[in-house]
Amino acid sequence: MTVIAIDKDLCTGCQECVKICPNLAIEGVPHQPQTLNEQKCVMCGQCVQKCKSYVSVAEHGFGAYEKIRVQRNLPPTVLEPLFAAYNVCHLDEVLRALADPNVETWVQSAPAVRVGIAEDFGAPLGSLAAGRLAAALRRIGFDKVYDTNYAADVTIMEEGSELIDRVKNNGLLPMFTSCCPAWVRYLELNYPELRNHLSTTKSPQQIQGALMKTFGAKAQKTEAKKIFSVSIMPCTCKQYESSRPEMIDSGHRDVDVVLTTRELAYLIKLKGLDFLGLPEEKFDLPMGDYTGAAEIFGVTGGVMEAALRTGYELITGQPIPAVDIKAVRGPDGFRTADIAVGELTLKVGIVTGLKNVKPVLDDLKAGKLNLHFIEVMTCPEGCVTGGGQPKLIVDKDFEAAYQARTEATYLHDRELPIRKSHENPSVKKLYESFLKRPLGSESHKLLHTTYCGDPKSHAAHH
């Protein structure tokens, strides 16, 4: 499916996109329109963030602007410049579902969205807006407003248990995180022989989607086929992930449509909401209950830290000495750390930015990589810097935004009353009443998958 596109009528060939593309998918010569090779594109959307060529009402007139806006299926309230590199918009599908009285619209929102969305309404970079985000989604008309953070806590229960199982039972190591779909696609395209190193645990988006149409449908006494599942993501590749044929373990497409943070801002403006004036509200329970560990999924090193907070206590049976594991934090390209977990020394690695993963994979193939667990995030500093986050126009704003969004994420983690995934009371109840145990038969059916190594065929193997 087409997720990212380059408008040749707008592209000036500045090649800002070429410099940022992690898989050399953008081809062309300077000062000429560039071409996107969809077979190589990992759909991370960093080209969308960096693109400098645009059409605007002020510079090109209403007629030229309106033509592009209509072509891209954007609502009439969109007045901002439209850039040559863009992600395909799915707002019309969401609007149709919201208007259909026979459909139940359920929405989930990722951790990085709440530290980005307010920027599109004039708030300072990195403003935390979790409560206003929940309020906005409710006023837009979604029937259930859930939080992907809940599923991030579930992800840690499954992925942490999977890691422990591999370490204790001589499983295939290192295990790579699999919650970033652009990274998974990169591996499938370039190193398919290493795909079994990926965790089988699905991403939080897909876990939440599967739970919505099974556990959630049962709890709400409704039918899965009536639920239209929407996710709000900082990532352009999540739409591709949700469309993969293996993501139907609820018996239906687990996530029907994905909107980026930017597209949610379009929707909020279309509905005439004063975002910054909205009250602070909570996400719906139980799938809106979350911990600090889930929140830090949005920053580089966050999945690793969340897994370690829980893994330490599952392995040792003791409280972790320090919840903040600063050794795995930071924006460096590739870093490693040795973490003492009882008698075990867990060797971990964190890859920040997909351009830094090739040497790691080459070392793995050469037998030179002695690690247990590796987190890989495609975007420069994790999901807070995703391709679907608010567009930054001035280059100097990138670093400031990255820093502000990261700081807001860690602040939110510190402020939350529970900071370890296995202590989330709603997740405990989920296992007691529905899943029974991590890596159990129901968990395996709904929350795990394997990757075929050929992203064109996407055969599912359970």
Active site residue: 80, 104, 119, 162, which one? 162
Instruction: Name the domain count of the chain.
Output: 1
The pTM score is 0.96
d(CA 144, CA 141): 9
* 445 in catalytic set: no
Within a domain: 16: yes
* pLDDT higher than 90, residue 454: no
Determine the longest span between alpha carbons in the chain, in angstroms: 69
Distance CA 17, CA 11 (A): 10
pLDDT band at 459 (very low <50, low <70, confident <90, very high): very low
**CA–CA separation, 273 vs 111, rounded Å?**
21
Q: Report the CATH number that the domain containing residue 75 is assigned in CATH.
A: 3.30.70.20
What is the b/e burial string over 169-189, where b = at least 16 CB atoms within 10 angstroms of the residue's CB?
eeeebbbbbbbbbbbbbbbbb
Quick one: pLDDT at residue 455?
Answer: 55
Selected catalytic residue, list 11, 379, 383, 452: 383
Dist. CA 249–CA 454, nearest whole Å: 20
Q: Is position 5 within any domain?
A: yes
Is residue 406 situated within a structural domain?
Answer: no
- Is 246 one of the annotated active-site residues of the chain? yes
Residue 256 lies in a domain: no
- Looking at residue 381, the DSSP 8-state letter turns out to be T
Give the tens place of pLDDT for each residue, 150-159: 999 999 999 9
Q: Is 41 a catalytic residue?
A: no
Q: For residue 110, is it within any domain?
A: no
Q: Does residue 199 carry a catalytic annotation?
A: yes
Question: Is 235 an annotated catalytic residue?
Answer: no
Q: What's the domain range around 76?
A: 1-89
Is 109 in the active site? no
Q: DSSP of 64-101, one letter per residue? A: HHHHHHHHTT--TT--S-EESEEEPP-HHHHHHHHH-T
Q: List, in order, residues 6 or more apart from 438 with CB less than 8 Å away.
A: 157, 158, 160, 161, 431
Is it the case that residue 303 has pLDDT exceeding 80? Answer: yes
> Is 380 inside any structural domain?
no
pLDDT tens digits, one per residue of 91-135: 999 999 999 999 999 999 999 999 999 999 999 999 999 999 999
Cβ atoms of 341 and 316 within 8 Å: the answer is: yes
Task: State the average pLDDT for the chain.
Answer: 95
Report the pLDDT value the prediction gives residue 331, as an integer from 0 to 100. Answer: 83
| 362, part of any domain | no
